[in-house]
Structure 1
Amino acid sequence: MSQPNQPAALLIIDYTNDFVAPEGALTLGEPAQAAEPAIINLAQRFWETGQVVILPTDLHHAHDPYHPESKLFPPHNLAGSWGRQFYGELQPWYEAHRADPTVWEMAKTRYSAFAGTDLDLQLRARGITELHLTGVATDICLLHTAVSAYNLGYQLVIHPRATAGFSPENQTFALQHFQTALGAQLIDD
């Protein structure tokens, strides 16, 4: 975790039914489901120590001809759908903590949690310089968020047990890329 006086934020990216549940529209399956205990543990640790917990979550609309993902993936994380709800124990954890100003969900419409959002402004307003990334997919949304964060000067910490990629090969590539190209610290907790 961060140094005592260094504010940090935990980002739990796209950990929704559509990406994690067996019947999800774009599920990563068992590897994503296996990340649940680590994600919940980290969320609780961050919350208990007064650190920020942010849940950047895909928001899509059915039959959107202008969104580039419409040509690449089946419909997923549609507004108001079961698929966009947080998976497993994360949903009740979020419901129990959502009134706390250090915990919030934010909609995103692109792979990177920074693209078209005020995430950078929110982090800078709180003096946050270190980001801990968890969630799915390691090889798409976490990777693009990490590249954006790196380019904005944030220090990166990745928790591999709290992530999952679309394949073991993609997971390995993304984790190596975080470390070798973005200078991220990998923590197996």
Structure 2
Amino acid sequence: MSSLTDTAVVIIDPYNDFLHPSGKLNGLLAQSLKETDTIKHLQMLVKVARAHGIPIFYGLHQQHKPGFIGGWKHATPMQESQRDSVAFQEGSWGVEIYDGLEPDISRGDVVVSKHWCSSSFQNTDLDYQLRQRGITKLVLGGLTANTCLESTTRYAYELGYHTTMLKDATAGFTTEQKDAATEIIWPLFANRVTTVGEWARGLDKAA
């Protein structure tokens, strides 16, 4: 097992509501999930991280509960849509982590405080938790390619983290949107855009 004490994997929003065929929002992502084989690659990402002793940080969206954004005057369309669809409902099966992607605190995984909009850094403790552990390199996957994953990585870029984005461990609301993100937009700010397999082979060579 290699020592990668400055590295962490960050997985964004691996909720059942997104990934499971019965999830409330799965229909919006189903085509992209299928064409990229996203779930298989996310599960591979977890397996590789475990094999190399790399902790996984979970960036999760705020959950719907009574009073969600009640009285807000500046809610985003995304937040209003979540309120109306009752997606990511607190205590529901939909906010459980998809099978094979669950955190393991005994291995150093961290579930950070939940984000309200897109970035898992904004108004959360993600940066604090990473810096407490001396982590400077992030490997990111999750959902969605054009929103929370991209926003989180842009924020990491601004904070000075070295970022690797995994283009087959994500999905978009359409395949075209996902492809635009991974092929055109991500290379503008990520240090590296690659696949889970290529990233894993690099770890094996380094070991």
Question: What's the TM-score, normalizing by structure 1?
Answer: 0.85
Matched, 1:178 2:181: no
Give the CA deviation at 1:6: 6.3
Q: One-letter code of the match for 1:105?
A: V
Runs of 4+ in 1 over 6 A off after TM superposition: none
- Please list the CA deviations of residues 127-172 of structure 1 after superposition, one character each: whole Å capped at 9, or x if unmatched: 1111111111111100110111111011111111111111122112
1:22 aligns to what? 21
Preserved CA contact (<8 Å) 1:10 1:53? yes
- For these two proteins, the number of residue pairs brought into alignment is 181
Give the CA deviation at 1:173: 2.1
Gaps of at least 5 residues in structure 1 are none
Separation in 2, partners of 1:12, 1:32:
15
Give the CA deviation at 1:50: 1.9
Q: One-letter code of the match for 1:150?
A: Y
Helix, strand or coil at the partner of 2:117: coil
Separation in 2, partners of 1:125, 1:49:
20
Question: Cα 1:5–1:136, aligned 2, differ >3 Å: closer, same or farther?
Answer: closer
Map 1:27-176 onto structure 2 (within 5 A).
Answer: 27=26, 28-32=29-33, 34-62=37-65, 64=68, 65=70, 66=72, 67-68=75-76, 69-73=78-82, 74-91=85-102, 94=103, 97-100=104-107, 102-106=108-112, 107-175=114-182, 176=184
The structure having more radius of gyration, on CA atoms, is 2
Separation in 2, partners of 1:130, 1:76:
31
- Please list the CA deviations of residues 55-107 of structure 1 after superposition, one character each: whole Å capped at 9, or x if unmatched: 1111222352335333234221121111111123224xx3xx2333x112223
Question: Of Structure 1 and Structure 2, which has the larger fraction of its residues in strand?
Answer: 1
Question: What's the TM-score, normalizing by structure 2?
Answer: 0.79
Kindly, what percent of the aligned residue pairs are identical? Answer: 28
Gaps of at least 5 residues in structure 2 are 198-207
